[in-house]
């Protein structure tokens, strides 16, 4: 399981919908925003 939302992840720790799910490591990924993509691609 992976997420960028730290607060959401922390709230799921006690959620019965996610039994046994652990977020125990991190990885580096490149990320951007839709606004930045629009500037690069001139999306209108």
- Answer yes or no: is 20 within a domain: yes
Question: pLDDT confidence of 36, banded at 50, 70, 90?
Answer: confident
- Long-range contacts for 17-24 (Cβ within 8 Å, ≥24 apart)? none
* Residue 3 CB partners (closer than 8 Å, separation 6+): 9, 23
At 15-25, the pLDDT tens digits run 999 898 888 88
- Answer yes or no: is 32 within a domain: yes
The pLDDT of residue 1 is above 80? no
Distance CA(15)–CA(8), nearest Å, equals 11
- Answer yes or no: is 18 within a domain: yes
- Answer yes or no: is 1 within a domain: no
* Residue 12 CB partners (closer than 8 Å, separation 6+): 18, 21
Compute the mean pLDDT over every residue in the chain, rounded to the nearest whole number. 82
Using a pLDDT cut of 90, give the percent of the chain over it: 7
- Answer yes or no: is 29 within a domain: yes
- Answer yes or no: is 36 within a domain: yes
Q: How many domains in the chain?
A: 1
- Left (φ > 0), alpha (ψ -120 to 50) or beta: where does 13 sit? alpha
């Amino acid at each position: 399981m992976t997420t960028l939302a730290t607060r959401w992840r922390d709230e799921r720790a006690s959620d019965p919908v996610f039994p046994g799910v652990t977020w125990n490591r991190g990885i580096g990924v490149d990320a951007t925003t839709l606004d930045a993509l629009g500037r690069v691609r001139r999306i209108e």
